[in-house]
Amino acid sequence: PDDALALNFRVSDTGIGIALADQNQLFEPFMQVSQGADGMGGTGLGLTISRQFVAMLGGDITVESQLGQGTQFAFTVPVQVADGLAQTATPPTARVTGLAPGQPSYRILVVDDDKTHRYLLTQLLQSVGFEVRDAEDGQQAIALWQSWRPQLVWLDMRMPVLSGYEAAQYIRAQESAPAPAGNLTPTKIIALTANAFEDDRAQALDIGCDDFVRKPFQLRHLLTKLAEHLRVQYTYGPEVEAPTTPLAEVDAIAALRRLPALQLIGLHQATLQLDSEHMTRLIAALPSDQAPLAALLTRQLTDYAFDALHTLFQQAQQG
């Protein structure tokens, strides 16, 4: 849109730098890096939290560093010009409930070799109202792209058989080929990767991807990207109100194990079915002494973090 802007931020230092081998895990909590002369050894939680905040704003954070030459962190967040907007902006806590009426049918292809990630993303997008198909590698993705012609592809970049990089290159080559094979309406391709480095972003964009999203992601971030690239419009509902008492994940597992077995199974089943309304009712039915657990589950539900909820319930049932 004409009023859309991107704010770019860069923070640089002239410190000892970070080894390439350490950069791959830099955003993990309390990651231990190779110690330099000043004894700096751990990252704590600062970078992990920073990445989460940037993701909540719809952006991504990257790092560039060389030993002895310092480090540069960068992130970009999408914004809109406030002056002159006619409509009232949707509150940032509003929850997407579906697609607004009067829009075309949107075909979305999800490509990921991780079965759980692929299933969850497919189910989440279908629950909003998109037509979704999935593929587990680049070869399957190309076959579906040729037969189904999706408007947008979520493409994991590192997969067996045929990587996302190779699949994206093939699609772009076919789109630009002479008729009758070519002259196709370009498919939007958004790269999905667990890496947060500028080189990965640059490589994905260089081969023809339209955008780049880092894992792990939140559904609202993906929905924002879909609106940005396909001009999708949504309907919204009130956000789930969460209690404020925090609870650590390890304590949550213990709390879940104290629930009746049928109640725990019901929560897990609602998660697998992506049934947020039923989940809300089940959370509300938790006893009052489980308020911290209800707070954590509600926060996860608010963020559409069904994959995290699935893992949590799975671990609780394995105890």
For the domain that residue 219 is a member of, what is the CATH number?
Answer: 3.40.50.2300
Would 186 be classed as within a structural domain?
yes
Would 184 be classed as within a structural domain?
yes
Query: Do strands 211-214 and 188-193 pair parallel, antiparallel, or not at all (unpaired)?
Result: parallel
Residues 255 and 233 reside in one and the same domain? no
Question: What is the per-residue pLDDT for 37?
Answer: 41
Residues 226 and 135 reside in one and the same domain? yes
Question: What is the per-residue pLDDT for 244?
Answer: 45
Residues 34 and 129 reside in one and the same domain? no
For a pLDDT cut of 70, what percent of the chain falls above it?
82
Q: Residue 148: is its pLDDT beyond 50?
A: yes
Residues 170 and 128 reside in one and the same domain? yes
Would 91 be classed as within a structural domain?
no
How far is residue 103's CA from residue 139's CA, in Å, rounded to a whole number?
31
Q: Residue 39: is its pLDDT beyond 50?
A: no
Would 87 be classed as within a structural domain?
no
Residues 227 and 110 reside in one and the same domain? yes
Residues 260 and 228 reside in one and the same domain? no
| 204 torsion bin: left (phi>0), alpha (psi -120 to 50), beta (else) | alpha
Q: For residues 46 and 38, which has the higher predicted lDDT (pLDDT)? A: 46
How far is residue 7's CA from residue 79's CA, in Å, rounded to a whole number?
7
Question: What is the per-residue pLDDT for 54?
Answer: 85
Residues 60 and 173 reside in one and the same domain? no
Residues 222 and 259 reside in one and the same domain? no
Residues 190 and 260 reside in one and the same domain? no
Q: Residue 295: is its pLDDT beyond 60?
A: yes
Mean pLDDT of the chain: 81
Q: Which is it for the CA torsion 230, 231, 232, 238, positive or negative?
A: positive
Would 243 be classed as within a structural domain?
no
Q: How many domains does the chain have?
A: 3
**Strands of the chain, DSSP E:** 4-12, 60-66, 70-80, 95-99, 107-111, 131-135, 152-156, 188-193, 211-214, 234-237
What integer is the mean pLDDT of 27-53?
A: 61
Question: What is the per-residue pLDDT for 91?
Answer: 41
Domain of 105, in residue numbers: 97-237
| Lowest-pLDDT choice from 79-88, 196-205, 276-285 | 79-88
Choosing from 184, 203, 237, the residue where a domain stops is 237
Residues 20 and 63 reside in one and the same domain? yes
Would 244 be classed as within a structural domain?
no
Residues 233 and 112 reside in one and the same domain? yes
Q: For residues 206 and 124, which has the higher predicted lDDT (pLDDT)? A: 206
| Lowest-pLDDT choice from 83-87, 255-259, 262-266, 288-292 | 83-87
Residues 226 and 126 reside in one and the same domain? yes
